[in-house]
Chain A
């Protein structure tokens, strides 16, 4: 009976989520801010295949065909830059803030 739980309890149970769309060879939005423990979903809306690959290799979507999605939970605060392995001029940034700053 999840629906019966108060909204605050739900927020505590489920990680917050953000979505990055890959469209026209760009990550949209190019920079997002989330909090530690949040989940980010990458969605490839392009006809071309792409990846979302961290420069520090802390995450890697592998190849995303059209319509494919990839999710990653960011446990630790920090600034994570990523790019597309197939089109290395495509860049994006995930800023992960500590949970306490929420």
Chain B
């Protein structure tokens, strides 16, 4: 059986479908709602889910995701709890890939030795460490390999040709392109400026390319998808879930939000 991430991208490529990747912080707004929200995201048209592991000092994130991390931490969510959520999600969904996104310290504290078994048994497909460039990721690589999980790597507008070569060699599954110099949720997206850097990535790698940071609405998603294989939506979705009174309401919001993005992507020229 091929890797869940590879399978999703390969199937989408055959059908001309753009991949939609919503990000939510695990445990926010309420830890008990996270698994139902994940299912709602899939029902709305998500192809892959990025699940944020909350961290107290999220240096690369903007105020929306930082606040959501703080709420999740206040409710006692840690990496072990996040893995429990993935395991529970897998009971009803064995197809949708789940990539954990977060920072090094909670992963280290969980224990690199324990990581492989825990990822495998929970059904985690990938790990994106925001504060860990490939130079430092070597320490986690054996555990990820043993778990059959991919290290998803970032490329930024500032990434040099030399670094891009290294990243392309080490990357698995897909490459995540950070759409601008800045933090998550900032309003700096310039979709026209994506063409050149994505072409540059494709000269070095056959892997599909996802674009994230600053994509707030269906129109922006469609504009980005003119150039990218996949679109990541984080802060706008996290903000949308704030203030939900119950799991049903949060799930409804999540499903509608993703469905509006899905519709926009599916109606693009060139899509079926």
A binds B: no
Residues of chain A having any CB pair with chain B under 8 Å: none
- By a beta-carbon cutoff of 8 Å, the part of chain B in contact with chain A is none
